[in-house]
Amino acid sequence: MNGNNYRSHFRASETKKCTLVSIFLNSFLSIFQIIAGVLSGSQGLIADGIHSLSDLSSDFVVLIANKKGQKGCDDDHHYGHLRFENGGKLIIGAILLLVGLGMVWSAGGNLLHNSLPQEIKPLAIWVAIIALVIKETLFRYMLFVGKRIQSSLLIANAWHARSDAASSVIVAIGIIGNMLGYHMMDSIAALIVGLFITRMGYHFSSDALQDLMDRSVDADLEHQIRVCLLSTAGVAGVHDLKTRKMGDYALIDVHLEVNGDLSIREGHEIATEARNRVMAVFDVLNVMVHIDPGDSGR
């Protein structure tokens, strides 16, 4: 198993394990919050439970995208199926958008039509605090794993969990306000949560669309790749370096300048060495190298 295959397998295994933990916790939280919200009369807590339910759906998207993305090359996909991960991130964003807009519509309608708010029972605040602790812990765990294995899909799902934790803070504030006599605070909290989720959904969707449209890697990584290529013996210059993202990997096209007096075989060997150096250091799926003759080599 080569370096890239090992990293890909390890990343997939860690993503699956982390997501299964998230599925278990979100299943518990969604049922727990919705039932507690109904029993305590808290619209905000019910909204937060629905948000946890959206987390659960995004967890399943991550599992599916993670599994499909590991499928190798075939006749129709010569570079593999890694963009399933980008598509999964887009779906997570769409789920967030729909859930957020639904919450805004419901809570906003209650506020505009002056629906009679009900007094919330103390059960709600305890459930909100428990949910907050669980969600924040889950976020930190998923973000730690996502950064360690450099998985943008898992990091996106981690921030989805953080948005849920932030919404629990707002819900708790709304519940406390309601219990102090400001009964509309619970509906206002549900509205704020909806707006927060909508904003995050837009961010994830936009980011995923950019990757699906062949967005390049960040400037710092591109500079490191250029330096790696230039440090290869025989490479006199680098130009027309182009990158595009494929899941959490990159595809690279580059022109290398070598001594024009070298034979085709010697030029090919330099290109192969440059390609192998980049493939060994960075998460790169493939490097397409074109050799240009220069005045002198190294």
Same domain, 111 and 207: yes
Same domain, 180 and 224: no
- Please tell me the predicted confidence (pLDDT) of residue 297: 41
Same domain, 209 and 288: no
Describe the chain by its helix, strand, coil percentages, rounded to 5: 70, 10, 20
- Please tell me the predicted confidence (pLDDT) of residue 298: 43
Q: How many CA atoms lie within 13 A of 195 on its CB side?
A: 10
- The most confident of 4-13, 24-33, 95-104, 269-278, by mean pLDDT: 269-278
Same domain, 79 and 121: yes
Q: How many helices (H) and strands (E) does the chain have?
A: 8, 3
Amino acid at 191: L
* Residue with tokens 């009679």, as numbered in its chain: 116
**Residue 296 parent element (H or E):** none
Structure tokens belonging to residue 297: 């080599």
Does residue 63 register a pLDDT over 80? Answer: no
Same domain, 86 and 70: yes
Give the N- to C-terminal CA distance of the chain in Å, as an integer.
33
Domain hosting 147: range is 3-213
Among candidate residues 213, 246, 273, the one where a domain is terminated: 213
Phi, psi of 58 (to 5 degrees): -70, -30
Structure tokens belonging to residue 63: 């599992």
Count of structural domains, the chain: 2
Handedness of CA 181, 186, 191, 193 (dihedral sign): positive
Same domain, 274 and 205: no
Does residue 115 register a pLDDT over 50? Answer: yes
Q: Of the ranges 124-133, 208-217, 278-287, which one carries the lowest mean pLDDT score?
A: 208-217
CA neighbor of 275 nearest in space, from 235, 218, 221, 239:
235
| Position with higher pLDDT, 57 vs 36 | 36
- pLDDT mean across residues, the chain: 81
Share of the chain above pLDDT 90, in %: 17
Amino acid at 118: Q
Same domain, 111 and 168: yes
Does residue 275 register a pLDDT over 90? Answer: yes
Same domain, 170 and 227: no
pLDDT digits (tens, 9 = 90+) for 160-177: 777 777 778 888 888 888
Same domain, 126 and 267: no
**Residue 253 parent element (H or E):** strand 249-259
With left for phi above 0 and alpha for psi between -120 and 50, is residue 256 left, alpha or beta? beta
Same domain, 13 and 133: yes
At residue 84's C-alpha, the angle toward residues 18 and 30, to 5°, is 45
pLDDT digits (tens, 9 = 90+) for 206-250: 888 887 787 888 889 999 999 999 999 999 999 999 998 877 788
Among candidate residues 196, 213, 230, the one where a domain is terminated: 213
Same domain, 231 and 274: yes
Query: 147 in helix, strand or coil?
Result: helix
Task: Give the CATH number of the domain where residue 190 resides.
Answer: 1.20.1510
Calculate mean pLDDT across residues 46-58: 74
- Please tell me the predicted confidence (pLDDT) of residue 106: 75
Task: Give the CATH number of the domain where residue 255 resides.
Answer: 3.30.70.1350
Handedness of CA 66, 89, 94, 252 (dihedral sign): negative
Does residue 101 register a pLDDT over 50? Answer: yes
- Please tell me the predicted confidence (pLDDT) of residue 65: 65
Calculate mean pLDDT across residues 144-163: 79
Same domain, 226 and 101: no
* Residue with tokens 């859930």, as numbered in its chain: 99
Calculate mean pLDDT across residues 35-63: 77
- SS3 annotation, 73-123: CCCCCCCCCCHHHHHHHHHHHHHHHHHHHHHHHHHHHHHHCCCCCCCCCCH
- Please tell me the predicted confidence (pLDDT) of residue 80: 65
Q: Of the ranges 7-16, 131-140, 223-232, 269-278, which one carries the lowest mean pLDDT score?
A: 7-16
